[in-house]
Amino acid sequence: MLQAALHHGDGTAVIESGVGFTWLQLRSQVGQVAQGLLRVGVQPGECVALLGKNSTHLLTYMFAIPAVGALVVPLNTRSSIEELAHVLDDSGATLLVADASVEARAIRAASSARLRTLVRLPAAPSELRDRSPSAQPDCSDEGSLTIVDHVGLACGASLAVEEWGCGAGDAYGIFYTSGTTGGAKGAVLSHRNQLFQASVKVGTVGISRDSIYLAALPLFHVGGVSIALAATMGAARLVIEPQLQWGSAWRLIRHASIDLLTVVPAVLQLLFDAIDANADADAAASAAAPAVRCVLVGGQVRDEWGLNSRHRRPASLRRGIGCPLCGLAFDPARGSRSARIR
């Protein structure tokens, strides 16, 4: 992120619900949030949990938490209160960042954990700009839990870049399993893990400053974090839509000129169904729109997806070694899809 801000500072880093932010604005906000985390007592080696829908604010914390030497612990927004409490307790998180959509559940889950602080995120994106250094976080108490408003926490002086503290071998975060075979279990990933994953995706997929990535996978998912970091490494533009509905997603993809996204097989099918259902009505507009260059699919490629159905070129499918991550390219303007296992 720092490299992107250094070399492409005035370029667009993130667009959320039509609101755009530059790399310099993102770097400034990350520094301010990092300083705010130190101000409320976050120490190196502590865990900071994240709970909420995809947003620019959540992305900011993904960079700010490691900047102070703390660990990121993404929480599944679909988890029950008991499941959230288990992860918070197991990780030993001392601070939880939550948006308005999950705040009530977050407070209830926090009551049985060792949390000291909950940071309340705003419901909508706000401008990422410097705020008055004299401002202080707005705080309230919920039992033993201190609730801090993000706008107050992220105000004031920015943590100097030379003070950002994390090394390649340090832990980046703890990612928890879904808990289908018992309680959710945490896996610790290092910064080196994340850098390697991101660099492989940048090279394999061809992510660059000309790429426009739709952040469709949730940022609580290891795959969602990995591709978001890869997009940042390549200085690509990230498009975030918290209320994304796949039945109408193609309109957003076309309007924002998305050329890269990551989905699971079920979502891919929903996207294809929506494209097919609107093929005639949107033919003229689709013909003028650029094609999606690549869709990364974390799952098994099956012919039932309709890759070889009528109006489409036969797909070229090859199975690779290891994770079945499929690079799929399709152009609805020509009624064609092609895929290859990466």
DSSP for 267-329 reads HHHHHHHHHHHTTTTTHHHHHHSPPEEEEEEES---GGG-TTSTTSPPP-----SSS-EEEEE
pLDDT in tens, 237-254: 999 988 788 777 778 888
Which residue has tokens 């309007």?
Answer: 255
Model confidence at 112, pLDDT cuts 50, 70, 90, reads: low
For residue 221 the two structure tokens come to 């998912």
Distance CA 228, CA 233 (A): 9
pLDDT in tens, 28-58: 999 999 999 999 999 999 999 999 999 999 9
pLDDT score at 323: 41
Model confidence at 320, pLDDT cuts 50, 70, 90, reads: very low
DSSP for 12-53 reads EEEEETTEEEEHHHHHHHHHHHHHHHHHTT--TT-EEEEESS
Distance CA 83, CA 232 (A): 31
Look at residues 195, 172, 181, 218 and name the one whose alpha carbon lies nearest to residue 66. Answer: 172
Per the CB < 8 A criterion, the answer to whether 236 and 209 are in contact is yes
> Collapsing DSSP states into helix, strand and coil, what is residue 128?
coil
Per the CB < 8 A criterion, the answer to whether 165 and 6 are in contact is no
For residue 328 the two structure tokens come to 């799929």
pTM: 0.82
CB atoms closer than 10 angstroms to residue 97: 31
Distance CA 217, CA 215 (A): 6
Helix (H) or strand (E) holding 57: helix 56-67
CA-CA distances (angstroms) from residue 19 to 22, 55, 150, 208? 10, 11, 18, 21
Per the CB < 8 A criterion, the answer to whether 56 and 81 are in contact is no
Name the most confidently modeled range: 157-171, 207-221, 261-275: 207-221
Per the CB < 8 A criterion, the answer to whether 91 and 49 are in contact is yes
Query: Does pLDDT of 338 surpass 80?
Result: no
Q: Where are the alpha helices (DSSP H) in 191-277?
A: 191-201, 222-233, 249-255, 265-277
For residue 35 the two structure tokens come to 């300083």
Mean pLDDT of 271-293: 63
- CA angle centred on 97, ends 93 and 100, rounded to 5°: 140
